Chains A and B, each alone.
Chain A
């Protein structure tokens, strides 16, 4: 009997069809980051634009360079290097010298991603690796903040932006004084609270009317962009929820215990990089756990550590180190939260 040609395509499993791919998800994360980048440029002007373009270009170029070094086809089309670049730029102060930003971008992709084998193998969030490196290398520049909504922000750059490579950026004090708008200083809400005891109002923080890293100021905008990703099921909503919940619970406990020493829980939630970190960095698909219980433990751990570093550490902000620590322990969390296989018995200890 001759084999009949079947009209049905026969294949081995899996038969699941999905429209989602790495490329599609990554492209949507880029879309979600664009409004935040636009807000950063609106708020901090030309310098923020130059910063975002430089860091993104560096990340993409570094990714391509390591593709070439490893004799592999280009991985630029999966958009992940673009995301790393955008995220990294958004966590840097707007007036960050561009040559240092190039260092940050290079280290982030090289040390955080390429050396582990590229996308899918990185232990840590590459953007945060880059930022942690420049935080350790250039501690002064990365804490030199400039006021938001400076009047000449669309006509002139912040003087530190174009510092010649390998040289110390000029002191910003005089420039900030000259450019400062009434009621705005260069200090971030967190350093104001930590070093001067001034608490910025939560509504200003929520809408983004404060100084800070380029993309961390507007909690509202970050939440909206995160919600877009969560609705399209391109991000696990449980991770930001757990991180924010963990931070809020810890802050609430401290506030109830000794109210006058600690800021209000809402201030903790909306200030600094917590929102950006929780929504876009802790939720890194590669470096976070996948087990259902593990996700909650991971998120709560990050939120808890963030608040502890803010209250008792030397630096005003602790989100970056908290997320890196969370990334580091996520394989362990996965190991102890493995769900029981259906029908399997509990192993004897």
Chain B
């Protein structure tokens, strides 16, 4: 069925982290991104949980891709994803009750995270097992990076701490708004702005280089 198997390169992994970052470039999975990033710890936990689900679901979907009938594929993917989410849910509840309490319903809601379904549909159902796992891991890393960046900014400004460690001493004035929901939108907007600005600048520079203006 797969006539052209693309070789697995570093790019299979790295493209998902930076160039096609699920949050900052593809703008997927905004709900957990905004909801759980009030601190870096929460962001990291959410990122790791999602990465686990991504790798697991990509692995299983890729293995079963020739058995799944086209008509019911979405339902099948969801069942596979839900299986892994249930595992994460129980594991976190048993091993890290504090984080489980902080993340609340958003652990169960990983099921409907469109990044995971998107990877299953767009990549795992068309590619080999190993490539899918690498791609899933890359997407997970990209998602975790995004959550960390957002959670980091919000925690540093909103509470003066990072991973719960006090950074600035007792005289720090917390920016209350940053750990409230609007802060999530502000921080996300700022990061999106920075990413698209960098991208624009890169294309502009590439164009400048490509033009034979300064020939000789």
Is the pair A167, B177 in contact by a Cβ cutoff of 8 Å?
no
- Choice from B168, B171, B176, B189 contacting A139 with Cβ under 8 Å: B176
We find that the number of chain B residues with CB closer than 8 angstroms to chain A is: 15
Is the pair A138, B176 in contact by a Cβ cutoff of 8 Å?
yes
Is the pair B172, A167 in contact by a Cβ cutoff of 8 Å?
yes
- Name the CB-closest residue of B to A141: B173
Is the pair B173, A69 in contact by a Cβ cutoff of 8 Å?
no
Is the pair B177, A137 in contact by a Cβ cutoff of 8 Å?
yes
Q: Within the assembled complex, what's the spacing in Å between the Cα atoms of A219 and B194?
A: 43
- Mark out the residues of chain A between 155 and 181 whose CB falls within 8 Å of any chain B CB in the assembled complex: 163-164, 166-169
- Name the CB-closest residue of B to A115: B193
- Mark out the residues of chain A between 109 and 153 whose CB falls within 8 Å of any chain B CB in the assembled complex: 111, 115, 133, 136-139, 141
- Mark out the residues of chain B between 185 and 199 whose CB falls within 8 Å of any chain A CB in the assembled complex: 186, 189, 193, 197
Q: Which residues of A contact B178 (CB under 8 A)?
A: 137
- Choice from A69, A133, A168 contacting B177 with Cβ under 8 Å: A133
- Mark out the residues of chain B between 22 and 59 whose CB falls within 8 Å of any chain A CB in the assembled complex: none
B182 contacts partner chain A, Cβ-Cβ < 8 Å: yes
Q: Which residues of B contact A111 (CB under 8 A)?
A: 186, 189
Q: Within the assembled complex, what's the spacing in Å between the Cα atoms of A334 and B168?
A: 49
Q: Which residues of A contact B168 (CB under 8 A)?
A: 166-167
Is the pair B175, A138 in contact by a Cβ cutoff of 8 Å?
yes
Contact flag A167-B173 (CB < 8 Å), given A115-B193, A136-B182? yes
Is the pair A168, B171 in contact by a Cβ cutoff of 8 Å?
yes
Contact flag A137-B172 (CB < 8 Å), given A69-B197, A115-B193? no
Q: Within the assembled complex, what's the spacing in Å between the Cα atoms of A137 and B172?
A: 13
B87 contacts partner chain A, Cβ-Cβ < 8 Å: no
Task: Report B65 CB to chain A, min CB distance, Å.
Answer: 43
B109 contacts partner chain A, Cβ-Cβ < 8 Å: no
Task: Report B1 CB to chain A, min CB distance, Å.
Answer: 47
Is the pair B193, A167 in contact by a Cβ cutoff of 8 Å?
no
Contact flag A136-B172 (CB < 8 Å), given A69-B197, A115-B193? no
B180 contacts partner chain A, Cβ-Cβ < 8 Å: yes
Task: Report B180 CB to chain A, min CB distance, Å.
Answer: 7
Is the pair A138, B173 in contact by a Cβ cutoff of 8 Å?
yes
Q: Which residues of A contact B176 (CB under 8 A)?
A: 136-139
Q: Which residues of B contact A163 (CB under 8 A)?
A: 173
Contact flag A167-B197 (CB < 8 Å), given A136-B176, A137-B178, A138-B176? no
Q: Within the assembled complex, what's the spacing in Å between the Cα atoms of A201 and B90?
A: 65
Is the pair A167, B182 in contact by a Cβ cutoff of 8 Å?
no
Q: Which residues of B contact A168 (CB under 8 A)?
A: 171-173
Q: Which residues of B contact A169 (CB under 8 A)?
A: 173
Q: Which residues of A contact B180 (CB under 8 A)?
A: 136
- Name the CB-closest residue of B to A99: B173
Contact flag A166-B173 (CB < 8 Å), given A136-B180, A136-B182? yes
Q: List 24 A-B contacts (CB under 8 A).
A: A69-B197, A100-B173, A111-B186, A111-B189, A133-B177, A136-B177, A136-B182, A137-B175, A137-B176, A137-B177, A137-B178, A138-B173, A138-B175, A138-B176, A139-B176, A141-B173, A164-B171, A166-B160, A166-B172, A167-B171, A168-B171, A168-B172, A168-B173, A169-B173
